[in-house]
Amino acid sequence: MSGPRDSAPLVPLVLALTALNTPKVHAGEARQLPQMTVESEAVSAPEAYPVELQPTTITTPDTAALLQRAPGANVNRNGPLTGLAQYRGMYGDRVNVLVNGMNISSGGPNGMDPALSYVPRTQLQSLEVIRGIAPVSSGVETIGGTIIADSRRSQFASGKNVRPTLDLTLGGATADRSHVYSAFGSAANSSHRLHAYGSKERGGNIEFPDGKIRPTRHERLNYGAGYGFRHEGQEISFDLRRNRTDDTGTPSLPMDIVFIDTDIYESEYQGRFGDYELHGKLYYSDVDHEMSNYDLRQPATPAASRLNTTKSNSLGYRADFGLPLGPGTLLLGSDGHFDSHDATVTNPVNPAFRVQAFNGVDRNAFGFFAEWNATLANDWDLQLGARYNRVESSSGTVSHFMAGMNPMIATLQNRFNSAKRDNNQNNLDLVAKLDYHLSSRLDLIAEGGIKKRAPSYQELYLWVPLQATNGLADGHNYVGDLNLDSETAYEAGLGLDWRGRRAYAAPRLFYRYVDNYIQGTPSTDPVVIMVSTANGDPKPLQFSNVDARLYGGDMDWGVRFGRHWRLDGVLSYVRGERRDIHDDLYRIAPLNGNAMLSYNRSRWWAGIEGVGYAKQNKVSETNDEQKSDGYALLNLRAGLTLIRELEIRLGVENVLDKNYQPHLSGINRVAASDVAVGEHVPGPGRNYYATLEYHYR
């Protein structure tokens, strides 16, 4: 069997290539195909790194996988549609992911439908990562940064005549024998715009050099429509979206997706009155979700069959207005989202089996913010922000069918039901960013901030030992703690932004000091240990407040050769450590980078891409985390405009068919697979893909 070590000699080469200290193209070149660059923006317009979408395969089902192309960003992958965003070592609820400006709450307690899963790649208009400390205006809880994804929408046209557009996409890939069909149509004039869209994706189990990864099949249907009206500088819009995910594997989790049925409604207003800019948004999501351990995998015995039925809904809003103040603009606003969650575990062969994992859980997070962006002099840009957040969590009483027969379970149930289950947190965020223009080509960027995050509902209300941990996927049973405090991060960052005529580089360093970091620690409760042991884990963990630090650096860079050649890449490194004991944080990305050498002509382009990950031996002993080997991959990509309306993209990923195991892919839990239980889930083998796109304008 060939393993990840087979690629190890290439790792230093790829990482060294991505670390070339070369400087930044002009912003006007930032969107040329197929480069990956960041448009140069002053701190007064938060520096967002736009992930270049053109050179990537549309057949990639998980939009979160694109984050690997942004400096400092990565993805914790638990399944083909279950990628949790990671930024500078923070992941899950710590990272604020906005989809069309909405904070979409996951429908289940194990994060099988993270926010980015609601925007299929064929419907994605843009994906941006705010580099460094997220501005207070970017969301309620942004301790781990902010990622912004926008789906395709209609655009107002000029004049009164209606202009129609139509985009059709057909694609397929060999690694999972997948296919995708997508359509987007719009009609618009200067006052009205209307659009409708839909996509259908389906794929089988992913192949790797030693066989198939089971279960990794996926199936998703996504469709929606929207309308916008504009008059004399005022605009109002309405959109609705429906997502239906059917049988989809999550081999790093104890169950797989049976279905996720989601409806999302949103309305938005923006306008200007004199010097005042007004904006408002209201949205609602409703999720019905089932997961099981017997549809796509085989339980140990029929008695071990489990079905988890969950329901979640969320109501969110945002209102803000901007006004001139001194040499800058003051933005004042309020935003929030109000979420409810229920989850009940049953056994289809035992009608008496019923466990209320979460019942009547509410988590309401809302806040008020003020942010001032100013140009103090010709060479200085400043951003100052403050935010107050209120997070209110509560839970109803729970029940377990064994409580009447098992005194240990009865103890846990009665202890929880008799406890005070309200957890209210008052948090204050502060951010300062300074951009000093050292020259016409070089900027110095300095930033500092204090950010807080209240505990999630799983961290508070997981009352019986289970693995419902929002996708942590470490194999341990967990219990919550009703008395958890908010995490508090003190962060500082320093960077350069250098733009040359043919080259660019934007390196960043950061240090984050976290008090009350929420981490699983070994439970000392004998009742919890006994119940967990009977449930397969003699070493359960309890969510606890500990102390941590995260530090590292990342950069994007590129250089252009002549008229047609260019080389672009990113490099990322983060280290996460406990401060209270000698241990490392769990599931942290190792040193990694990628680089693409591309050749561009007016009607076609081609590129060769290298991707490298170093080994990760700084792992969490508390979570029994496994070390991983480094690897390097080679990808070939190309695009051709056949006629003005018709484009084709094709490529080969993992050209050398390497057997590799990404550290962030999680541990396999499924016995009936060609991957051994307890091993890191490997990446796909050699993958040929092609997409055909038709555009009518």
Give the pLDDT score at 28: 31
Separation of alpha carbons 397 and 416, rounded Å: 8
Do the Cβ atoms of 637 and 69 come closer than 8 Å? no
Q: Is the pLDDT score of 240 beyond 70?
A: yes
Q: Is the pLDDT score of 35 beyond 70?
A: no
- Ordered domains of the chain (ranges, CATH): 4-696 (2.40.170.20)
Q: What is the pTM of this model?
A: 0.93
> Which residues make Cβ contacts (< 8 Å) with residue 327, sequence separation at least 6?
374, 375, 376
Separation of alpha carbons 565 and 34, rounded Å: 11
- pLDDT tens column, 622-681: 999 999 999 999 999 999 999 889 999 999 999 999 999 999 998 999 999 999 999 999
Following DSSP, what letter does each residue of 83-138 receive, concatenated? EEEEETTEEGGGSEEEETTB-PPPSSTT-SS-GGGGS-GGGEEEEEEE-SSPPGGG
Give the pLDDT score at 55: 73
Tokens of 614: 């170093």
Instruction: Flag the least confident range among 3-17, 598-612, 682-696.
Output: 3-17
CB 325: neighbour CB atoms within 10 A? 12
Chain mean position to CA 200: 21
Q: What is the mean pLDDT of residues 487-506?
A: 97
Q: What is the mean pLDDT of residues 334-354?
A: 97
Closest Cα partner for 572 from 596, 587, 555, 584? Answer: 555
Q: Is the pLDDT score of 603 beyond 70?
A: yes
> Which residues make Cβ contacts (< 8 Å) with residue 627, sequence separation at least 6?
615, 616, 617, 619
- pLDDT tens column, 408-464: 999 999 999 999 999 999 999 999 999 999 999 999 999 999 999 999 999 999 999
Using DSSP's 3-state secondary structure scheme, residue 6 falls into helix
